Amino acid sequence: MQLQTFAEYALKEVLSRKNNKVIKVLSAGCASGEEPYTISIILNEMLDFQYSFKIDAIDIDYKMIEIAKEGIYGQYAIKDIPGEYLERYFDKIDDERYRIKEVVRKNVNLYNLNLIEDRTYEILDEDYDFIFCRNVLIYFSDDIKRKLIERFYIMLNEGGYIFLGHSESINRITSAFQIVKANDFILYRKPL
């Protein structure tokens, strides 16, 4: 699973050479919040007390951001979450629904923003360690993809990673990133 590669490979690699103790993540095209909340759970599990973290999560679809803010998920959405984590990070509402706990929410900032509007980049930071943009590039022309990837390059710390969807590649668009193979996944890393 790609998020396992994030946890076991990329996060460990970034932590091994990080000067400050803050991890910053952007979830670009976060839909109804499963991605940023899962990353928040992973960081809660993996980081020791010296570290803090912040996850900015954006989506163009207002309704998706409202669902993400509500943070209530049905059986299907939580089907891959191990029982131990379900107990630790969710409150059971009834047999069908679970509410994500405050400890997971508190580091996730949700915004209804469009990735291809300039004003989005006035709101977002320029020092992310990880950018997740999975299954979103499919919506854009090569020209827009190129502009977006240039933005991501600027917004990433040196040595930071981009995670794309399984079938997505930016090889045709740019050669600015190092290509890292970890498990069965291709990750893109901004050179140090």
Residues that bind ligand SAM (CB under 6 A): 29, 31, 35, 58-61, 64, 114-116, 134-136, 139, 165
Residue 27 Cβ vs ligand SAM, minimum distance, rounded to whole Å: 7
- How many angstroms separate the Cα of 105 from the Cα of each of 37, 59, 96, 186? 7, 17, 20, 29
CB of 35 to ligand SAM, least distance (A): 5
Name the token pair of 151.
């933005």
How far apart are CB 34 and ligand SAM at their closest, in Å?
6
Beta bridge partners of 25: 55, 130
Least spacing, CB of residue 178 vs ligand SAM, in Å? 23
Give whichever of 43 and 137 is closer to ligand SAM, judged by the CB atom. 137
Determine the residue with CB nearest ligand SAM: 29
Sheet holding 128-133, edge to edge: 108-112, 52-59, 22-28, 128-133, 156-164, 185-189, 178-182
Residue 53 CA to residue 22 CA, distance in Å, equals 5
Tell me whether residue 1 or residue 139 sits nearer to ligand SAM (CB atom): 139
